[in-house]
Amino acid sequence: MPVSLGALATQFGCELIGDPDVEVGNVASLQNANAQSLTFLSNPAFKEQLSSTKAAAVILRPADAEDSPVTALLHDDPYACYARMAGVVCPPPAFEPGVHASAVVDPSASVASSAHLAPNVVVGANSRIGENVYVGPGTVIGPDCDIGDDNRFIANVTLARAVRIGKRGIFHPGVVLGADGFGNAMTPEGWVKVPQVGGVEIGDDVEIGANTTVDCGAIEDTVIEDGVRLDNLCMIAHNVRVGAHTAMAAMSGIAGSTIIGKRCMFAGKGGAVGHITICDDVIVGAMSFATKDITEPGTYLASFPAEPAKDWAKKVGRFRRIEALQKRVKKLEEK
């Protein structure tokens, strides 16, 4: 959506060095920008590309202003400023209100007249779809769900049942919310299923990535607080609580009943065992998992970087022989 630099600068409180009437209509990298592009310089590693950019305008820190060969938008956090401006230049796709003829809505459900139900959407009994909600093709909203205003379900999302969502969320294809938690009691006759009767409660401004699953609670709800970001293929088990503004990179998994604080970050394939509490502002590293309560903010790790197989094999061999080494030291000490 073409927008003038002056309008952007005013809306997001930037100083503008250049012509406020120039319009930008796309976003691009410094290197590939054209005369309609808005771009940004945040990571100093890309500074060398600044001098040759063909962008209409670049968002950068005040200290970099004089090096810009094009119109500059000055901001102390160019990446966050870019995120906001790009949201104006490249807004999410518009949609028409209405229910496609192939959508199937239970008579007991309610759908706001401003909502869009795409082909093959199914809405179950007693569910409510709020204002300006986009429900993409193939999405199934099961029974007893409550979907607040301005949510977007891109396509083929499934809400099994009893999922309540605040406002302005984005749910990518393949997301499954509210499926049964993994509750089983062992008996001499084998596993007996423990009925999973809780729901899922999701706050405002939550985004959940493709094929991620958030199970319903066993008795009470699984909770995802405001502003949480879950990447693709993550797993949130029953009765977990994920604190506000916590972000998890792809393939992270949190086992049942664990409480995650606010503003935590999990790197890819991170995780936590069940029934523990992790305080606010904790970072769990890639392929690492927390096994007990964490009460101090900070970074927690437990993984090794891959190295050449021969070197790794030697290290593993030595690791296996630490005991022998201990014995040799003990023998020396006894002498």
Q: Which residues pair with 222 in a beta bridge?
A: 200
Taking contact as CB under 8 A, which single stretch among the options 2-10, 60-68, 108-116, 269-277 is the one that binds its own copies? Answer: 269-277
Q: Which is nearer to its own copies, 19 or 83 (CB)?
A: 83
Among the listed residues 234, 201, 229, 231, the one whose alpha carbon sits nearest the alpha carbon of residue 217: 201
Contact residues for 2 (Cβ-Cβ < 8 A; gap 6+): 23, 24, 25, 36
Q: What are the C-alpha distances in Å from 295 to residues 115, 260, 269, 281?
A: 43, 11, 22, 10
29 lies in the binding site for its own copies (CB under 8 A): yes
Cβ at position 245, least distance to its own copies in Å: 5
Tokens of 262: 């606010």
When binding is defined by CB under 8 A, the residue of 114, 120, 132, 277 that contacts its own copies is: 120
Q: Which is nearer to its own copies, 63 or 309 (CB)?
A: 309
When binding is defined by CB under 8 A, the residue of 10, 15, 292, 293 that contacts its own copies is: 292
Q: Which is nearer to its own copies, 223 or 235 (CB)?
A: 235
Q: Which residues pair with 260 in a beta bridge?
A: 242, 278
Catalytic, 172? Answer no
When binding is defined by CB under 8 A, the residue of 182, 277, 279, 280 that contacts its own copies is: 182
155 lies in the binding site for its own copies (CB under 8 A): yes
C-alpha angle with apex 190: 185 to 191, nearest 5 degrees? 30
Q: Which is nearer to its own copies, 164 or 168 (CB)?
A: 168
Residues composing the chain: 335
156 lies in the binding site for its own copies (CB under 8 A): yes
C-alpha atoms less than 13 angstroms from C-alpha of 329 in its C-beta half-sphere: 6
Q: What are the C-alpha distances in Å from 21 to residues 28, 200, 324?
A: 20, 47, 75
300 lies in the binding site for its own copies (CB under 8 A): yes
11 lies in the binding site for its own copies (CB under 8 A): no
281 lies in the binding site for its own copies (CB under 8 A): no
Contact residues for 300 (Cβ-Cβ < 8 A; gap 6+): 282, 283, 284, 285, 288, 290, 294
When binding is defined by CB under 8 A, the residue of 23, 149, 226, 280 that contacts its own copies is: 226
- Where are the strands (E) in 75-120, listed by range? 98-99, 104-105, 110-111, 116-117
Taking contact as CB under 8 A, which single stretch among the options 16-24, 64-72, 126-134, 306-314 is the one that binds its own copies? Answer: 306-314
Cβ at position 83, least distance to its own copies in Å: 4
Binding positions for its own copies, 229-248, rule CB under 8 A: 229, 231-233, 235, 237, 244-245, 247
83 lies in the binding site for its own copies (CB under 8 A): yes
Taking contact as CB under 8 A, which single stretch among the options 2-10, 51-59, 127-135, 288-296 is the one that binds its own copies? Answer: 288-296
Cβ at position 180, least distance to its own copies in Å: 6
Alpha-carbon torsion (324, 329, 333, 335), positive or negative: positive
8, 82 in Cβ contact below 8 A? no
**Burial classification of residue 273, based on how many CB atoms lie within 10 Å of its CB (0-12 exposed, 13-18 middle, 19 or more buried):** middle
Cα separation, 231 vs 208, in Å, equals 6
194 lies in the binding site for its own copies (CB under 8 A): yes
Q: Which is nearer to its own copies, 62 or 66 (CB)?
A: 62
295 lies in the binding site for its own copies (CB under 8 A): no
Q: Active-site residue numbers?
A: 238
